[in-house]
Structure 1
Amino acid sequence: MPTERKPAGAAAFQESVTAAITAAMFDHLAEIGYARMTMDAVARRAGVGKAAVYRRWPSKQAMLIDRVGAVMRGNLPEVPDAGSLAGDVRGFLDVIVAQTGDPRTRRIALDVLVETTRTPELGTALHDVVAEPRRTAAAAVLSRAVDRGELRRGLDRELGLDLLISPLVMRLLFATGEVDEAYLTRLTAVIVAGLDAA
């Protein structure tokens, strides 16, 4: 008697193939940038057929958003409670450095950031998976400081979030100066002073 076959419809994708495509996409993106990246080239680099890529994503934009989202969801920023505003700020800066300190990551981030100026829907989607979770983590730092009485309850939270995130990200993406222990210590003191006035 023949073995009953499982219905063919929504077959699960092989994780190893998805992982190979993901690695190939990020390698390709780091080398030539988003504008020149093609799904066919990613498939060749991953050693899979074009169909394996197109079954997963209908376009390179969909592929990028999904793969960046998967990586970011696995690396959501967590800032342990250090017991003080200065400690939490420094902890938050350390998280940013850990997640974006690799030159390859910075190269990809800068390239994609430029691309979002030409493709607003890409910017909106990446904001949801990249920027928003980081602002949520930064908001937790501010809330703890307010609860401790270190910051006033009328704090301009949006300005506070900008102070926590923007200076270091700008330094990492656009400047050539080193981000070392001394720099992070000085930046922590400046951010804490700025938050007190926000």
Structure 2
Amino acid sequence: MTTNADAPGPPPRRRAPAGAAVLREDVTDAIRAAVFEELAAVGYARMSIEGIARRAGVGKTAVYRRWRSKLHLVLDLVSAIAVQGLPAPDTGSLDEDLLLLYKVTSRALKHPVAGQILPDLQAEAARNPEIADALQKALREGQHGVANGIVQAAVARGELRTGLDEDLALDLISGPLYWRSVVVRNPGLPKGYLRRLAAATAAGLKTL
């Protein structure tokens, strides 16, 4: 008579090592939001993991499980901006593509958090090469990526000439609104300003 007493059973279930708990996405999102709020409130230099955790309603350990320092936290968030990008306008017209881009960008730059964070990070970038690299990548791959799409579409439609100076074109598209909204920090734009800016930019691009 045989029994299965010595038959091999199912393999034992492996236990997750201590400290390897799954990171909750809602907690991660709360921390990210808290970082932006903390940056806007106190700036990068005075920002602390303690302040971020307190604002997010979590313990410091929850922050350190995800990022090992405030520098890596900010670098991660800045880099994520490049991945998100902006919607690529596709109106069939250079002027209208530029106008749509300027409307979306203007709304983003009007946000009080963005308006406070960008100048602070630009100042910090002058002292910290890692932040400088991440910020440059975010701006170039985000805003410039969309601007380049507008230029290429206009070239394909015959509105702009083939072989134009693309770097100069991207500077011409991205510079004016950023200057007015972030550097000069003008609180408001005159009625019709964005349409006039789009028309002037389109005219300038056609001379390149």
**TM-based fold match above 0.5:** yes
Count of aligned positions:
195
2:119 counterpart residue number? 110
- Give the alignment of 1:10-159 within 5 angstroms: 10-70=20-80, 73-74=83-84, 76-159=85-168
| Cα distance in 2 between the residues matched to 1:11 and 1:131 | 36
| Cα distance in 2 between the residues matched to 1:174 and 1:134 | 16
SS in 2 for 1:34: helix
Structure having the higher Rg = 2
2:7 counterpart residue number? none
Amino acid at match of 1:168: L
Amino acid at match of 1:84: S
Q: Following superposition, which runs of at least 4 residues in structure 1 exceed 3 angstroms of deviation?
A: 3-6, 68-74
Amino acid at match of 1:107: Q
Question: Contact 1:77 / 1:134 at 8 angstroms: preserved in 2?
Answer: yes
| Cα distance in 2 between the residues matched to 1:146 and 1:23 | 39
2:174 counterpart residue number? 165
Question: Contact 2:81 / 2:142 at 8 angstroms: preserved in 1?
Answer: no
Sort the Cα spacing of 1:72 and 1:98 in 2 relative to 1 into closer, same or farther, 3 A. Answer: farther
| Cα distance in 1 between the residues matched to 2:144 and 2:89 | 15
> Once the 2 structures are TM-superposed, how far is the Cα of residue 181 of structure 1 from its aligned partner?
4.2
Range 166-175 or range 42-51, more displaced: 42-51
Unaligned runs of 5+ in 1: none
Which digits, 9 at most, give the CA deviation of each residue in 1:34-74, with x for residues without a partner? 11111122112222221111111111111012123345534
Question: Contact 2:31 / 2:52 at 8 angstroms: preserved in 1?
Answer: yes
| Cα distance in 1 between the residues matched to 2:148 and 2:22 | 38
Higher helix share: 1
| Cα distance in 2 between the residues matched to 1:160 and 1:195 | 6
> Once the 2 structures are TM-superposed, how far is the Cα of residue 20 of structure 1 from its aligned partner?
1.9
The two structures have a TM-score, normalised by structure 1, of 0.89
